[in-house]
Amino acid sequence: MDRRSARLATLFTVLTLALPAAAALRESETIAVGAGVNNAAVDKTTGRLFTANVGPARNDAGSISVLGLDGLVTVLPSAGTPGDLAVSSALRSVVVTHPTADRVSLIDADTLSMRIVTTGQQPFAVAVIDSKNRAYVVGRNRVATTTFVPGQMSGNVTEVDLSTGATRVFAMPDMDPTSILAVGDRVFVMVKLYGFAQELPAYVRELDTASGTFGPAVSVGRRGMQMLGSASGDELYVLGHADFMRDAPSVRAALFVLDTATLAIKRTILLPDYTPVTYMADGTRVYNLPNIMGALTLDPLTGNVYALDMFNKRFSIVNPATGALTAVELEFSTRSIAFEPVSRNLYVGFSYGGYAAVYSAGGDRLDTIALGETFQPGSLVALSIAVNPLSGAAYAINTGPGTVSILRAPESLVSQAFNATDLWWNANESGWGIYLEQQGTTMFGALFLRDEAGAPRWYTMSEGKRAGNGSFSGTLYRMQGLAGAGVRATAVGTLTFAPDSNDSASLSYTIGDAKRSTAITRTRFVSDRNCGWSNSAASKATHLPNYTALYYQPENSGWGLAVSHRGDTAFGVIFGYDAQQQPTWTLMSDGKSQAKGSGSAFGGTLYRVAGNSVAEIGSMSLAFGAEGSASLSYTADGKSANQLLQRHVFGAITSECGL
């Protein structure tokens, strides 16, 4: 190797560092199951997924679908618009409610044979007790007026013998039921009262399944949303609001912890207070939403409860024993959350955005999985998630397109975020590389290499989309400066980045008729660091301790700066144009910290690579400020320039790297 070639290799030299465990890369497969798919439940024994599909139009009869492990879908007729459904894996029975038809369907989980059973009015939710061989279906009685006053709203619970189909209907006068839950051999119903100024007082009542009578109504504040039983069955959790009023009017969101034996409230845990939010992305409609609308899910290992707050875009991790909680911000409003106990990951589904977010049990964002069709903020389209607690499979149910996305994780899981944002290369082929900026399910790629004549050239993939197998693909563009102002982007091919671990991947691209596939790894110089995720609006723009990102000028797009920052070293690549307006790139491979203690400024030699040669053409310095700003100063071929840049944010969730 001659002196120049050795020097070129030195520019891209990477220290041999121990690689961390493989990231928890997840794959998805999206399957059409039926129009208006709205609810789903898993048969833990066979792995089949049963879905209730309300159909394409209001009051449609809908259908019931069965998704097998082979990906095949069996569609069953429905005895009326389906509502809730529950699967008893032990009893091999599936129960589906039909609210408008006052009946339920009992389906054999193996043969898929079906029988119809009449219930009380408007059955909307179901709970199953395996030991009793019974299903309990809660319904609302119809009223002739829409003016709700005490005594006019009432409900019912129907007990269904899953062997014979025999039923008993138990009346629930004066109260409107909202949900039903089986905890062990006991059945609880949450109810509320209409017509009161105190914001819909909520109560929990226990059903005596022997006599068909209801116990005393235990007050659980206002606007009760959901009940959940503890893993041991000795506690009942209720998501609602603390029992007091404020000027808004509003009530404080809370988690009530009840003793299931007595229904005595053991503690009331206040959740984070509401904040006025802008619900529409364009800001044209503003909702002040003090009431919580959300859901609960449970980590059976730790006993922690996850309380989703839809309108305030967050969930809280609550220790019901101590009342300690941690709030985690979300990028959009959502109504779906589910804990998967095998990998011990939390799934949150977003209709707007069309993806599911994956979190660790501690609330760290791990991954973002594309699910298909997206919807605007404020859409009533549901995206719910069901999990199989035995296999660890998760299913995202997307109402709009009528699909189910099967979310798969690798066999060997770690609680480590996967984030591709970094500078990547092939260690055996120095002199070229690719900078990738991943923000959620979208990726920006800047490929810098040498053309056939050895001249430095660069290409961009401005909108690479994540596929079900975890890869990102998009159109590859060649940029060219214009003599007057601006740039021209010409599509010249495609690019695909397919990760197989946190630090290795395959890169495939075409430029015209030329095709290339190669293995690449992250550049790892000086020290190791990992990149996670930030969905906080503040974190996207604020001064971060690590400056790995893509920077540009919003008012003068078409060129930019890619920075990979590790420890006291910054590797920077400038993507610009030469005197002939052709795309060219220069780099600072070993920028050192210039401000001890702050680490916010870096400087070093600027190089140009051409063919097998490398030349020192000047110097470069970077200074990073608040709100994602950066100052770039450089001297190249005797000419100096100073540019103010801004971090390029194009996704709802952005990278956040550690030192």
Residue among 425, 628, 469 nearest 538 (CA): 628
**What is the distance of C-alpha 80 from the center of its chain?**
33
**What is the distance of C-alpha 274 from the center of its chain?**
22
User: Would you say residue 366 has pLDDT above 70?
Assistant: yes
Burial (0-12, 13-18, 19+ Cβ within 10 Å), 598? exposed
User: Would you say residue 86 has pLDDT above 60?
Assistant: yes
| CA distances to 52, 448, 560, 570, 641 from 621, in Å | 60, 21, 15, 10, 11
**What is the distance of C-alpha 305 from the center of its chain?**
18
Whole-number Å distance between alpha carbons of 172 and 136: 14
- Cis amide prior to 290 (ω within 30 degrees): no
Q: Which residues contact 378 (CB under 8 A, 6 or more apart)?
A: 279, 280, 285
Whole-number Å distance between alpha carbons of 413 and 407: 14
Per mean pLDDT, which range of 86-95, 287-296, 323-332 is the poorest?
287-296
pLDDT of the residue at 308: 94
Phi, psi of 541, deg, nearest 5: -110, -15
Residue among 344, 530, 502 nearest 21 (CA): 502
Residue among 141, 41, 134, 29 nearest 82 (CA): 41
Count of beta carbons in the 10 Å neighbourhood of residue 15: 10
The residue with greater pLDDT, 490 or 13, is: 490
pLDDT digits 0-9 by tens, 385-436: 999 998 888 999 888 788 898 987 666 555 567 889 999 999 898 889 999 9
Burial (0-12, 13-18, 19+ Cβ within 10 Å), 324? exposed
User: Would you say residue 518 has pLDDT above 90?
Assistant: yes
Query: Average pLDDT of the chain?
Result: 85
Sheet of strand 103-108, all strands in order from the earlier edge strand to the far edge: 85-88, 93-98, 103-108, 114-118
**What is the distance of C-alpha 343 from the center of its chain?**
16
Whole-number Å distance between alpha carbons of 285 and 541: 24
The total number of residues written for the chain in this structure: 659
Query: Hey, what amino acid is at 617?
Result: I
Kindly give the pairing relationship between strand 504-511 and strand 514-522.
antiparallel
pLDDT digits 0-9 by tens, 367-391: 888 886 555 444 444 568 999 998 8
Whole-number Å distance between alpha carbons of 354 and 375: 7
Q: Which residues contact 626 (CB under 8 A, 6 or more apart)?
A: 542, 543
- Give residue 59's pLDDT band: very low, low, confident or very high (50, 70, 90): confident
Per mean pLDDT, which range of 277-286, 502-511, 598-607 is the poorest?
277-286
Cα dihedral 370, 374, 377, 378 in deg (nearest 10): -120
Ranges assigned E (strand) in 114-230 = 114-118, 123-129, 134-140, 155-161, 167-172, 176-183, 186-192, 201-208, 213-214, 218-229
User: Would you say residue 11 has pLDDT above 60?
Assistant: no
Count of beta carbons in the 10 Å neighbourhood of residue 517: 11
- Residue 315 is inside which H or E element, if any? strand 314-318
- Residue 540 is inside which H or E element, if any? helix 537-541
- Give residue 534's pLDDT band: very low, low, confident or very high (50, 70, 90): confident
472-21-47 Cα angle (round to 5): 70
Residue among 27, 79, 13 nearest 52 (CA): 79
- Residue 9 is inside which H or E element, if any? helix 3-11
The residue with greater pLDDT, 71 or 483, is: 71
Domains of the chain (ranges; CATH) run 40-216 (2.120.10.30), 418-657 (no CATH)
Q: How many Cα atoms within 13 Å fall on the side-chain side of residue 378?
A: 12
> Contact 529/567 with Cβ under 8 angstroms?
yes
Whole-number Å distance between alpha carbons of 520 and 444: 17
| CA distances to 150, 155, 190, 200, 643 from 175, in Å | 8, 7, 9, 11, 67
Q: Write a three-state SS string for 585-613.
A: EEEEEEEEECCCCCCCEEEEEEEEEECCE
Residue among 259, 224, 228 nearest 242 (CA): 224
Per mean pLDDT, which range of 165-179, 408-422, 574-588 is the poorest?
408-422
> Contact 293/250 with Cβ under 8 angstroms?
no
Joined together, the tokens standing for residue 308 give: 């989703």
Helix (H, G, I), strand (E, B) or coil at 637: coil
Whole-number Å distance between alpha carbons of 85 and 67: 15
Per mean pLDDT, which range of 121-125, 306-310, 334-338, 652-656 is the poorest?
652-656
pLDDT of the residue at 64: 97
User: Would you say residue 606 has pLDDT above 80?
Assistant: yes
Whole-number Å distance between alpha carbons of 434 and 498: 13
